């Protein structure tokens, strides 16, 4: 079992290992402020993980109530959020209680946002059950829901009390979902760590605990320097401006991780075309994504992509900031005018 400390909010530990769900009561009781916790999950994680988590918490003297919603990005909405907040109120949650997000990024984002706004803020814990959430969404305090106009347009910064990552949950993931997480891990290597990137370039490792741990360390270090996303933290958006547009254009029929893989390849291609890259980046990035079973291209009309990109929350007036790799292990923020986006899109595809 590994512990990575994140000195944000009140400070919290990311606990990573095997067999942790059955130890959740022992591990979480010291940080939970009261004796009531609302476990939030989707209908898939409810069937797989709710009972062992609930039994462990109950065995440690923590009373639980549970709320499950239909799985999928299409349910990460203000409507679902409102129903969740009403559930908290009906069950008498107070600021002395906590919410527990059991599941992937959708569950973590929505539970964290609900915890941030319910009674102006209650504590919450992340229990990621997907590799994607473990390496990315569960750490750093970003929470959000989608609007019809775009992804993650309503949200708040709200750091968790703890993150409990049981790597055994990854064994239940469909191959496509496991590959989603690898896309974000490869992205972190492209951004910050050449040797980590190399370790992921031959496909999915057998032991994923080191993958989660290194990704969390790299993300923690960036978030510490820029918690509220006003500068360096924007580097974590490598590939995401393209990816969010792809997701929107495809009505979320392409998963987030697969879209990030395509978006990261597009960013590498654009970097070379714009003369930002100091060394070849497209071939190694594309090869790493392919080695992990990920797509590297999405055939979408430029007009639709452009429209979606212009709605991206990272746009500021007439400018949008892309993240472009200079070399493997180093990237930079590259502001461009919205009038230049079409040409960049054409260079990236």
Q: Are residues 197 and 315 in the same domain?
A: yes
Picking from 104, 102, 107, the residue whose alpha carbon sits closest to that of residue 131 is 104
Last residue of a domain, one of 141, 156, 172: 172
Can you give the pLDDT at residue 219? Answer: 96
Phi first, then psi: give them for residue 185, nearest 5 degrees: -65, -45
pLDDT of 314 higher than 70: no
| H or E element that contains 69 | strand 63-69
Q: Are residues 318 and 222 in the same domain?
A: yes
Q: Are residues 30 and 61 in the same domain?
A: yes
Sign of CA dihedral 117, 120, 126, 127: negative
Tell me the CATH number at 318: 1.20.1090.10
CA–CA gap between residue 252 and residue 256 (Å, rounded): 8
Percent pLDDT > 90 in the chain is 84
Cα 230-190-141 angle, rounded to 5 deg: 40
Tell me the CATH number at 162: 3.40.50.1970
Between the alpha carbon of residue 138 and those of residues 66, 106, 126, the distances in Å are 20, 10, 6
CA–CA gap between residue 238 and residue 243 (Å, rounded): 9
Q: How confident is the model at residue 137 (pLDDT cuts 50, 70, 90)?
A: confident
Last residue of a domain, one of 172, 192, 214: 172
CA–CA gap between residue 289 and residue 242 (Å, rounded): 16
pLDDT of 316 higher than 70: no
* Domain encompassing residue 110: 2-172
Given a contact cutoff of 8 angstroms between Cβ atoms, the answer to whether 260 and 239 are in contact is: yes
Q: How many CB atoms lie within 10 A of CB 30?
A: 8
Q: Are residues 126 and 257 in the same domain?
A: no
Q: Which residues are CB-neighbours of 105 under 8 A, at least 6 positions away?
A: 128, 130, 132, 133, 136, 137, 138, 256
Write out pLDDT tens, residues 39-71: 999 999 999 999 999 999 999 999 999 999 999
- CA 289 and chain centroid, separation: 18
CA–CA gap between residue 71 and residue 171 (Å, rounded): 19
Q: What is the signed CA dihedral for 68, 70, 74, 80, rounded to 10 degrees?
A: -40
Write out pLDDT tens, residues 226-257: 999 889 999 999 999 999 999 989 988 999 99
Q: What DSSP line would sit under 212-245, residue for residue?
A: HHHHHHHHHHHHHH-TTSSSGGGGGGTTHHHHHH
Write out pLDDT tens, residues 181-197: 999 999 999 999 999 99
Q: Give the 3-state secondary structure of residue 299.
A: coil
Give how many domains the chain has, as a whole number. 2
How do strand 319-327 and strand 330-337 relate by DSSP bridges?
A: antiparallel
């Amino acid at each position: 079992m590994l512990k990575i400390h994140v000195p944000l909010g009140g400070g919290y530990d990311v606990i990573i290992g095997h067999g942790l769900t059955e130890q959740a009561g022992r591990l979480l009781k010291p940080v939970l402020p009261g004796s009531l916790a609302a476990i939030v999950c989707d209908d898939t994680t409810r069937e797989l993980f709710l009972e062992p988590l609930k039994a462990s918490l109950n065995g440690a003297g923590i009373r639980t109530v549970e709320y499950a919603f239909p799985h999928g990005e299409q349910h990460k909405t203000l409507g679902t959020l409102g129903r969740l907040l009403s559930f908290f109120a009906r069950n008498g949650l107070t600021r002395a209680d906590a919410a527990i997000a059991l599941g992937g990024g959708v569950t973590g984002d929505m539970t964290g946002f609900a915890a941030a706004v319910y009674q102006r803020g209650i504590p919450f814990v992340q229990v990621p059950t997907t590799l994607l959430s473990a390496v990315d969404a569960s750490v750093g305090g970003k929470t959000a829901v989608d609007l019809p106009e775009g992804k993650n347009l309503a949200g708040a910064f709200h750091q968790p009390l703890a993150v409990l990552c049981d790597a055994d949950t990854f064994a239940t993931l469909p191959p496509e979902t496991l590959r989603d997480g690898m896309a974000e891990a490869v992205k972190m290597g492209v951004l910050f760590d050449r040797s980590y990137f190399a370790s992921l370039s031959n496909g999915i490792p057998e032991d994923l605990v080191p993958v989660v741990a290194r990704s969390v360390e790299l993300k923690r270090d960036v978030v510490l320097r820029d918690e509220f996303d006003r500068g360096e933290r924007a580097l974590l958006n490598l590939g995401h401006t393209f990816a969010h547009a792809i997701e929107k254009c495809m009505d979320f029929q392409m998963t987030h991780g697969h879209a990030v893989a395509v978006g990261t390849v597009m960013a590498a291609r654009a970097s070379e075309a714009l003369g930002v890259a100091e060394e070849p980046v497209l071939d190694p990035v594309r090869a790493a994504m392919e080695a992990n079973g990920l797509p590297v291209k999405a055939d979408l009309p430029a007009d639709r992509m452009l429209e979606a990109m212009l709605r991206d929350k990272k746009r500021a007036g007439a400018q949008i900031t892309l993240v472009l790799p200079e070399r493997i292990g180093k990237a930079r923020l590259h502001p461009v005018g919205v009038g230049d986006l079409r040409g960049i899109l054409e260079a990236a595809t």
